[in-house]
Amino acid sequence: MAALATLLQKDISLAAEPHFKPTAKRVIYLFQSGAPSQLDLFDHKPKLKDLFAKELPDSIRRGQRLTGMTAKQESFPVAPTKYKFAQHGKSGAWLSSLLPHTAKVADDLCFIKTIHTEAINHDPAITFAQTGAQLAGRPSLGAWIAYGLGSVAEDLPAFVVLVSQGSGNPADQPLYDRLWGSGFLPSRYQGVKFRSQGDPVLFLSNPDGVSAASQRKLLDDLAELNRLKQEKTGDPEIATRTAQYEMAFRMQSSVPALTDLSKEPASTFELYGEDAKKPGTFAANCLLARRMAEKGVRFIQLYHRGWDQHVKLPKQIEAQCQDTDRASAALIADLKRRDLLKDTLVVWGGEFGRTVYCQGKLTAEDYGRDHHPRCFSVWMAGGGIKPGISHGETDDFSYNVAKDPVHVHDLNATILHCLGIDHTKLTFKYQGRYFRLTDVHGEVVKPILV
């Protein structure tokens, strides 16, 4: 137990040792799995209206690699968005009519229009966004942060994951647990997935006939056996196992209280919407994310599926925005009114964007879009990010970056920077090489920092 106490104290002390003074204490990452269309949400391109159904110029495509879904298309007709854009707030941010609630908090957001990636298919792109590599096996962003900064909460994990299914495309790409895994880092740093049905965490409740007192005695005896084994082998995973047993014991009290929304006032659900009362929805997960931020969870990862809209985009994206718009804006407003936004970094975005050309049949009311890694939009808020600005510009087709490109490695480097971490110094030696989240790349996007 003495060894365990030392181990836990080490984790807590790490929380006070960033590389430099941070502007954020925690991150809430609202990952929109499937790739939202920047053309229909954030990247206003009014000139496209006059180019409806006309062929996308080869000079714009520049021989871009195409996916298997559109590589054999004989025509690449321009598909302007059917949705109206307007400017909002003092910042004059352009937003689609699909996002009326996000528009209300536009002055709190920083829109980055020029995120780009090399990956063109979902699994490698999501894996790259979350781990810095297209091939599976590397530690996730949340695991790196838990490893670098340790935990603040003593009765909750440093890294928690919540997953919701969008109503836009129920058959969207699957999500794999490795996306929040620890890779070659010790397994104690992997994300803990909360479920929406039954116990939020598996085996949270004791079996019938097992009391808290008897479980405490069992864990004490088990810790002693693990201590003896670790003295013989020096295996760090044994210490991880002991620490996780203790964390699980404390979570048996903390998690039910955390996930019980019955004491939230009516004003909370007026803000987030009635969906926040339904476990497993994006709105409920956003509300839980705020509660976790209050309790000291370091990295809170939300995944919302359903954004892969190759066909029937208008019908599907409208449903997705119904899922996410109100809750995303509510989270910003809720954090702000609780004085938490100033040191909470919120990130909203997917793995890549969508093409300006139509996939499938194009009509004035219906169209689809293929994958587009060359430029897409992400917004950030709080935690040291300048509010009320847009960074970067794309060409008239939202097809290529025209000014101020931001690579996925740059985005991740900036997230770490807000937490007080120099991304070049957060490394782990594995198989003879020092690895880091940004590999040998990444530049902090300084113009968006306060």
* Angle, alpha carbons 142-147-153 (nearest 5°): 80
Query: What is the distance between the alpha carbons of residues 43 and 95, in angstroms, rounded to a whole number?
Result: 8
Give the up-direction half-sphere exposure of residue 80: CA atoms within 13 A in the CB hemisphere. 17
Please report which confidence band the pLDDT of residue 14 belongs to, taking 50, 70 and 90 as the band edges.
Answer: very low
Q: How many CB atoms lie within 10 A of CB 61?
A: 17
More confident site: 31 or 252: 31
Q: Give the 3-state secondary structure of residue 47.
A: helix
* 260-285 confidence digits (pLDDT tens): 999 999 999 999 999 999 999 999 99
Q: What is the pLDDT of residue 359?
A: 97
Contacts of 22 (CB under 8 A, 6+ apart): 343, 384, 418, 419, 420, 421
Q: What is the pLDDT of residue 13?
A: 37
402 Cα distance to chain centroid: 26
Q: What does the DSSP assignment read for 248-298?
A: HHHHHHHHHHHH--TTS-HHHHHHH-GGGGSTTSHHHHHHHHHHHHHHT-S
Q: What is the pLDDT of residue 239?
A: 81
CB 375 within 8 Å of CB 394: yes
Nearest CA-CA partner of 148 in 109, 189, 87, 209: 189
**Mean pLDDT, to the nearest integer, of 405-427?**
98
Q: What percent of the chain has pLDDT over 90?
A: 79
Q: Tell me what the pLDDT averaged over the chain comes to.
A: 93
* 38-52 confidence digits (pLDDT tens): 999 999 999 999 999
Query: What is the distance between the alpha carbons of residues 27 and 425, in angstroms, rounded to a whole number?
Result: 20
Largest CA distance in the chain: 75
Q: What is the pLDDT of residue 253?
A: 77
Query: What is the distance between the alpha carbons of residues 366 and 364, in angstroms, rounded to a whole number?
Result: 6
Nearest CA-CA partner of 371 in 160, 118, 176: 118
Convert 293-326 to b/e letters by CB count within 10 Å (16 or more is b).
beebbbbbbbbbbbbbbbbebbebbebbbbbbbb
47 by Cβ neighbours in 10 Å (0-12 / 13-18 / 19+) ranks as exposed
Tell whether the model's pLDDT for residue 118 goes beyond 90: yes
Q: Give the 3-state secondary structure of residue 219.
A: helix
396 by Cβ neighbours in 10 Å (0-12 / 13-18 / 19+) ranks as middle
Q: What is the pLDDT of residue 11?
A: 45
> What predicted TM-score, i.e. pTM, was given to this entire model?
0.92
Nearest CA-CA partner of 123 in 144, 104, 109, 137: 137
DSSP state of 449: B
Q: What is the pLDDT of residue 17?
A: 81
* 74-103 confidence digits (pLDDT tens): 999 999 999 999 999 999 999 999 999 999
* 428-437 confidence digits (pLDDT tens): 999 999 999 9
Convert 95-127 to b/e letters by CB count within 10 Å (16 or more is b).
bbebbebbbbbbebbbbbbbbbbebbbbbbbbb
Q: What is the pLDDT of residue 98?
A: 98
